[in-house]
Homo-oligomer: A and B are copies of this chain.
Amino acid sequence: MSPKSKPDNAPPAGPSCEFRASARARAAGDASRTRLHRFHPDDYTFAGVRTDRYKAADGSWTGVLRRTLAGGGPLMGDPAAFELRYFEIAPGGHTTRERHEHVHVVVCVRGSGEARVKGRRYTMAPLDTLYIPPQAVHQLMNPSDAEPFGFFCIVDAERDRPVPVDPA
């Protein structure tokens, strides 16, 4: 598996047959269509899933990308009460330090990393699964200097907006 990650401003993954079909299905609101997002282990992309920025550049985060695989909400439009997202933090990168009412369920799937939740550090290796409770101040980071830290993060499709929290 390649230790390289994509930069924050990586363009969406190039179109493929699967991507076009999936985009059409979503544009038509066709939630009745089965979708297989085949995994590409060379770069941790998924067929038919585009690469997005984590969020607008505001100085609170660095080196994070997002891939939304399935679920409710405007991006995918599946009839589901949750969203499944894949995030990847480049070596030295970190997410925004923040809190919100909705919970996170985080599953490490690439490399290793660190979650800081309510002031405590949790190291994470593949398939370690972390429940982050409501209103817990949290931040995910990749202190390594080689491999990206990749993880699934499952959230409710309907959820409150995160509140940034300044470093303690």
Residues of A within 8 A of B (CB): 31-39, 41, 44, 46, 69-71, 78-82, 84, 102-103, 105, 107, 109, 117-118, 120, 122, 124-136, 152, 154, 156-158
Contacts and interface: CB of A to CB of B under 8 A. Distances in A.
Given A46-B129, A128-B37, A156 B32 contact: no
Q: How many copies does the complex hold?
A: 2
A147 B129 CA distance: 22
A80 B107 contact: no
Contacts of A152: 107
Contacts of A122: 34, 36
A21 to B, nearest CB: 13
B34 A133 contact: yes
6 contacts: A34-B117, A34-B120, A78-B105, A79-B134, A81-B82, A84-B105
A135 to B, nearest CB: 8
Contacts of A130: 34-37
B125 A39 contact: yes
A79 B105 CA distance: 11
A32 B157 contact: no
Given A103-B78, A127-B39, A154-B82, A132 B34 contact: yes
